[in-house]
Amino acid sequence: MNAARSGYRVFSANSTAACTELAKRITERLGAELGKSVVYQETNGETRVEIKESVRGQDIFIIQTIPRDVNTAVMELLIMAYALKTSCARNIIGVIPYFPYSKQSKMRKRGSIVCKLLASMLAKAGLTHIITMDLHQKEIQGFFSFPVDNLRASPFLIQYIQEEIPDYRNAVIVAKSPDAAKRAQSYAERLRLGLAVIHGEAQCTEQDMDDGRHSPPMVKNATVHPGLELPLMMAKEKPPITVVGDVGGRIAIIVDDIIDDVESFVAAAEILKERGAYKIFVMATHGLLSADAPRLIEESSIDEVVVTNTVPHEVQKLQCPKIKTVDISLILSEAIRRIHNGESMAYLFRNITVDD
């Protein structure tokens, strides 16, 4: 397929070689070449983007994977989108497999909903459509004033379970918290496996300080309106850690959307080992694997961590051989082809549930 003649081009907005690997895989599947552009950081830290070919009247797809330097990646994407907009591109579609700031999609005390801010910035820069994968909260799609296709990685992870875990019929799908129970149930139903949920907590964590259980703050000499008596606000209290479901003598497969700080996964693995699970796998779409994650995984009871290549993690794989990668370039390249040709995206969502 000659992409230039058919009216679309694919660009990579990354300035680092490790982050362009996914873009190369996608263009290979499309039979196209990456658009000619230069993205780099000047000595003063500013980002500069130069488009080296004509894009007038074409559909432009910008592939942006998010490395550890999230803010630089965001600026690269914004500046490239604006450069293409001012170069008279017809449509500018962002292919952002892992959408940054997706965890900051709810109000926390006097904080801000940063994900909504980023959505507005992308629209202002010129994007007209976004292709992403497994948003942390599906409601994030409502932040955008243009279409968002939230693809799913679960078919690829389920295929990995079926092909790479020989005795997967003796497995149980585990949610490491009640919040992840719906996702785990979706996996369990499609694999015809049992379900277990880890509930409770060992101690108060830093995240709990932000979830509202300690608010409103105590105010000395607070003035109360005469006759105004509010109901007493009871503080939340989670029970001790328990495992709801039988994992004894089975393979435990923990599923989630993001693996970043792995302490909670390591703690879940220890509990599952105590309850009799003889092998523990962790499956997730986005492997951020920040800080000491590779070392903690290597020293833990986890047998294998399986993530997709939405985020580059080759360095972490060198540090920890337990980390495995599933390629999702196939579905991203097919999404690009269908959007450019005006075809339905329904095929890419077949057998996908709302809770997945």
Do 130 and 164 reside in the same domain of the chain?
A: no
In the DSSP assignment, the letter for residue 75 is: H
Nearest one of 288, 261, 257, 251 to 172, comparing CA atoms: 251
Q: Is the pLDDT of residue 53 over 90?
A: yes
User: For the packed helices 181-191 and 154-164, what is the interaxial angle rounded to 10 degrees?
Assistant: 50
Same domain, 159 and 302: yes
Residue 49 lies in a domain: yes
Q: Are residues 58 and 94 in the same domain?
A: yes
Residue 244 lies in a domain: yes
- The answer on 322 and 184 residing in a single domain is yes
pLDDT attached to residue 264: 92
Q: Are residues 110 and 139 in the same domain?
A: yes
Give the per-residue pLDDT at 221. 55
Cα separation values, 230 from 79, 225, 227, 234, 246, Å = 50, 11, 10, 12, 43
Per-residue confidence band for 43, with pLDDT thresholds at 50, 70 and 90: very high
Residues 61, 85, single domain; the answer is yes
Question: Which range in 75-84, 218-227, 233-242 is most confidently predicted, on average pLDDT?
Answer: 75-84
Angstrom distance (rounded) from CA 313 to CA 67: 9
Confidence of residue 19 (pLDDT cuts 50, 70, 90): confident
Domain extent, residue 88, equals 9-151
How many domains does one find in the chain?
2
Residue 95's pLDDT band, with cuts at 50, 70 and 90, is very high
Asked if residue 88 and residue 122 are part of one domain, the reply reads: yes
What percent of the chain is modeled with pLDDT above 70? 90
Q: Taking 50 as the threshold, does the pLDDT of residue 2 lie above it?
A: no
Q: How many residues does the chain have?
A: 356
Q: Assign residue 96 the CATH number of its domain.
A: 3.40.50.2020
Residue 347 lies in a domain: no
Mean pLDDT value of segment 242-257:
95
**One domain, residues 194 and 260:** yes
83 and 128 fall within a common domain: yes
pLDDT at 263 over 70: yes
Same domain, 105 and 197: no
* Domain identity same for 132 and 196: no
- Going by C-alpha positions, the residue among 324, 205, 320, 201 that lies closest to residue 271 is 201
Is 217 part of any domain? no
Q: How far is CA 187 from CA 196, 255, 344, 355, in A?
A: 12, 8, 25, 10
pLDDT averaged over every residue in the chain: 89
Q: Tens digit of pLDDT for each residue in 141-193?
A: 999 999 999 999 999 999 999 999 999 999 999 999 998 999 999 999 999 99
Instruction: Flag whether pLDDT at 335 surpasses 90.
Output: yes
| 195 pLDDT tier (thresholds 50, 70, 90) | very high
With 0.75 as the threshold, say if the pTM is over it: yes
Residue 101 lies in a domain: yes
Show which of 116, 151, 186 is a domain's final residue. 151
Residues 135 and 185 placed together within one structural domain of the fold: no
Domain membership of residue 354 (yes or no) is no
In a domain, 160, yes or no: yes
- 331, part of any domain: no
